[in-house]
Homo-oligomer: A and B are copies of this chain.
Amino acid sequence: MRLKDNYATVRQRSEAICAPLKTEDYVVQPVVDVSPPKWHLGHTTWFFETFLLKPNVPGYTEFDPDYNFVFNSYYESVGARVIRTNRGNLSRPAVEDVMRYRQHVDRAMENLLDQPLTPELETLIVLGLNHEEQHQELLYTDIKYILGHNPLFPAYCEEKATGATVGADKGPDMLSIPEGIYEIGYEGDGFCFDNEQQRHRVYLQPYQISTRLVTNAEYLAFIEAGGYQDFRFWHAEGWDWVKQQLTHAPLYWHQVDGKWMHYTWQGLQPLDLGAPLCHINYYEATAYAAWKGMRLPTEFEWEAAAPQLSWGERWEWTESAYLPYPGFTKAPGAIGEYNGKFMVSQMVLRGGSEVTPPGHSRITYRNFFHPSLRWQFMGIRLAK
């Protein structure tokens, strides 16, 4: 019963996120990493249809066989997928068709949830809901990208952004953690992703970690000190990126008539100096840390210190590459493609963000992105 409610809550939340959009906003894909909102709505639905309904509900009628082709993402086991760069070319299925698809699948899922379920099925449904929650965060980040790169800079909503000011009165900045062996990874009965398993020991040197995130004002000082013009702070790959992109500020920052503005949910606004820095990539995070004479924490340092930290406003870049934990194994079949196949060329981010669904993240949660990407709500916490 709780699972059925949970299902309804999660599914409705995806549609609520899109409610402020115009039909046209559901369709476009300005860059390859951003997906059209209607694709997210269809893809999360396709997950339930493909992995729950079709194998487990006798007599279930597939909504449209072509949708398998359109809404598959990277599951090589389940057939040909739309090349990712082509998603923004698809005007059909229309948004109303995607909504009917969601209703069709939701009705069938509700029937399924009314019946007694095996533990395997329950696990798979919980995975599907966590998967949809991940796409809810992507809906926010992709909507912000679509609207924030439109020359009209339309607002998404009227309410105040959730990014709270990082107070200077929150106590001492650096927390000291002693040397020793720490337990890392998920433990317990709740849901976790396969990449958080197996709990294991890690030896940490003594270190210090900041109790708060870097603010816009602090990062602006780096910009004004010429940080984007001095190769010494940058990785070679990061410096190439700076020169190729002609970048000199975080994503969504614009200098208008000599004044710093940033695009927010309410449109273009004066830069909020006290807010936690957002939308910088790994190159920028490490360059800033180098300029401060510090570094980023490893994901293990982060996890060991996490119970003592306030977190959840920004995904925090760590100095750890995304690699398997000792004893990591892929699940068999398509579900096994979930995480393991991405364990190369990506860096780990820990924490959560203002657009992470409530209750979705935890201190063992491992988010990951390529070091050049910055359209997620990413920030910096320093260590040394």
Contacts and interface: CB of A to CB of B under 8 A. Distances in A.
A91 B201 contact: no
Interface string A13-51: 000000000111111111000000010000000000000
A100 to B, nearest CB: 14
A236 B342 contact: yes
A341 interface: yes
A237 interface: yes
A288 B165 CA distance: 50
A90 interface: yes
Interface in A336-354: 336, 341-345, 347
A292 interface: no
A79 interface: no
Contact of A205 (B70, B320, B326): B326
A102 to B, nearest CB: 16
A236 B74 contact: yes
A283 B319 CA distance: 22
Contact of A151 (B70, B283, B326): B70
Interface string A104-140: 0000000000000000000000000000000000000
Contacts of A147: 91-92
Contacts of A38: 24
A239 B340 CA distance: 13
A198 to B, nearest CB: 9
Interface residues of A, number: 67
Contacts of A238: 344
Contacts of A152: 66, 70, 92-93
Interface in A195-209: 200-203, 205, 207
A359 B236 CA distance: 29
Nearest to A319: B323
A91 B88 CA distance: 11
Nearest to A143: B91
Contacts of A326: 205, 207
A45 B146 CA distance: 25
A82 interface: yes
List of 3 A-B pairs having minimum Cβ-Cβ separation, nearest first? A321-B321, A203-B203, A30-B89
Interface of A: 22-30, 38, 66, 69-70, 74, 76-77, 82, 86, 88-95, 146-147, 149-152, 154, 181, 200-203, 205, 207, 231-232, 234-239, 282-283, 286, 295, 319-321, 323-324, 326-327, 336, 341-345, 347, 371
